[in-house]
Amino acid sequence: MKRKSKKEERGLSILKKRVLTAPVWTPDVLLDVPEIDREHKQLFDITKKMYDLIRDKRKTKFACVEGIKYLKNHTMVHFAHEEEYMRSIDYPGYEMHKRLHDNFKNHILPTSEQILEQEDYSNESVESFLGSCIGWLCTHTTVEDLAITGKIESYSNPDFNLDLASFIIQELTHVTKQLANLELNLMNMHYTGEALVKPVHYHIVYSDDKGTQWFVQTSIEAKLVLYMVNKLFKLPTHRLDAMMMAALKQVVRQIVYHIGVSKKDMNDFYVTEEFVLSDREIGEVFEAHCPQYSMLFHSEQGCLTFCADVWDEQAKARYCQCRQAK
């Protein structure tokens, strides 16, 4: 197989060095609801113990299995308590919030567990599983849970009369502000693949409950990636390990799902496929076809793109050809 050039590998170079710790609970995610706050702290503590476990060379498969089971059980109990509390205060965002819980229980968690079993709880699969849990937990507590008691405004009184492109812009700028205090400004409504600075490229395929498939493709400059990790996970790092990259991918998924949940007339949807593209692959994709929705955003911390289109046979063929090219 032909070796990737330095230019193609530059966006993935931030994976080469491990961080030294895992995200920890901090008081800035307090809801001032003792039971819920206590359970949030327990979940962060469990993920930290799991992080330490997978770094221990003496660990066994049994320890990983039991640790993951423990984390899963605590999460399910917490969801039930949190939903009960939201009902007790007649929280207006209950239905949308519960959809996020259900998506995690019915799609994200089962898919991650299936990968664990297929790969026999390898280090890579356990790290990916834990990274996804960390990304989901940090995003959910920071954006969705704090809104329950009015600490932040999770949903931005969306204007449903907007066309889909304008709606995406409205919600993306809102959620990134809440998530990482990030001010996004639209630079180009018709982005055509212009080069970014050391980007990481994610491609995520979704299916809805009617069988329709579509994809979201996002490119994030390395400087912005590190800013989001530092801000969201409270990790002062200059490089990332694979587990934190899995966490960041989950953050991207959660942002997309947040936008979809805000669009009340959208069907339920879930991830069916995802992969990371190189600079060369992303360039060839744009040369072949520009997605229907293709936007470039700028912030003080760097640029990101948000592209979306249907995932039909033609789109699949284009991506397959680009990924197989030598």
Find tokens 């990259």 and name the residue: 245
Find tokens 């962060």 and name the residue: 44
**Alpha-carbon span 21 to 51, nearest angstrom:** 8
Domain ranges of the chain: 15-147, 164-324
pTM over 0.85: no
**Alpha-carbon span 136 to 9, nearest angstrom:** 27
User: In this predicted structure, what is the pLDDT of residue 79?
Assistant: 97
**Alpha-carbon span 258 to 246, nearest angstrom:** 18
CATH topology of domain 15-147: Four Helix Bundle (Hemerythrin (Met), subunit A) (1.20.120)
**Alpha-carbon span 101 to 91, nearest angstrom:** 15
Helices (H) and strands (E) in the chain, counts: 11, 6
Are 15-147 and 164-324 the same fold in CATH? no
User: In this predicted structure, what is the pLDDT of residue 1?
Assistant: 39
CATH number of 164-324: 3.40.1550.10
- Best CA proximity match to 273, nearest among 229, 323, 233, 227: 323
> Along the 326 residues of the chain, how does pLDDT read in single tens digits?
344 445 444 444 444 444 446 778 889 899 999 999 999 999 999 998 888 887 776 777 888 888 889 999 999 999 999 999 999 999 988 988 998 999 899 988 998 899 899 999 888 888 889 889 999 999 999 889 999 998 887 655 566 677 889 989 988 998 888 888 899 999 999 999 999 999 999 999 998 878 889 999 999 999 998 898 888 887 766 666 778 888 888 989 988 887 877 765 566 788 888 889 999 999 988 998 899 999 999 999 999 999 999 998 888 888 887 777 64
Phi, psi of 45 (to 5 degrees): -65, -40
* Length reported for the chain: 326
